[in-house]
Structure 1
Amino acid sequence: MTNHHAPAIPVPTSDWLCTSSWLVPDEHCYAGVTIRAARLQPGDVVPALIPLLQPLRDLAKMRTPLQKKLKKDHKWNWTKDDSNYVRKIKAKLKNLPPLYHPYKDDKMIIETDASHEFWGAALKAVTDENEEKLCNYASGTFNTAEKNYHINEKEILAMRKGYYKI
């Protein structure tokens, strides 16, 4: 993965500081948590996060038609297609990796990724053996206004959403 050297920049909330490809919350927020954003260039080796977040991104895409039914101005009508969406989502959820319960001494990492419409985040624990284990994950869909953001802003927004959702 390419190492990007960027100056520290403030993120949309005062509790964060972004340096290089690492986003670290201020000490008073959550001691011991590190947040990483996946940033790939052509030819980069795909980090372990990307295959992990792909099922979550797929889930976000799959639930989009069902989310539209929750809007205030939408007339409620359940169809066979909706039942099929639910079946597909349930099948996908059965294949998600098992979660690890972290110990007090484990270092915690939040990894995030964003596309033009969706975001995903994974909470990992680094064990004493220096092994990363998945503890939790979250994903979501950007709203209409957020879809107009530049991809860099979406990456930062994914970090923020992941931090608060996980």
Structure 2
Amino acid sequence: MSTPFTNQSYALGNGDSYLIRPIQANDKERIIGLFNHLSPESRYLRFAHAISKLPDDFLEDILHLDYETEMALVAVIHPQTESEEIIGISRYVTPPNQSICEFSLSVSDSYTTHGIGTHLMLDLISHAKKNGLLEMVGYVLSGNSKMLHLVSDLGFKAFTIHDDPDFKTVSLSLSEE
């Protein structure tokens, strides 16, 4: 089911560029570095609760993917150098025996206005489609207006969760219409 991913390079606008590539097992310190560059508000918006350290089980899960049901892409600046820095990450997971995947996205606070989240999501959506998934969903805090705007621009529909007004479910059909 898994298809190869072609690394994509994008301009930042300041003369630098960044590369989107699949996560690698040796990215642990770079993922921790990205997390450490997130403000407390960004951490809350991503994880839906205050968190000061990435849980070890989260790191293990994200660094050792089952590419049949999961994908994680990272945006890196200064690719393939000693100072390669992860500035964003997108991921989807697919529950067993389902054709729906759930996404997550984080972008370093220093790079939130450069289109990195949009490119990470577009590449993640493309990969999910190539893998035959039919729908991508996410759970977004109702107060996370930046994420709600981003996914709306990408064609996601937002729905209020009746028993939990703190969250919205967002959904995108991946089937070709």
Q: TM-score if structure 1 supplies the norm length?
A: 0.30
* Higher strand residue share: 2
Highest Rg: 1 or 2? 1
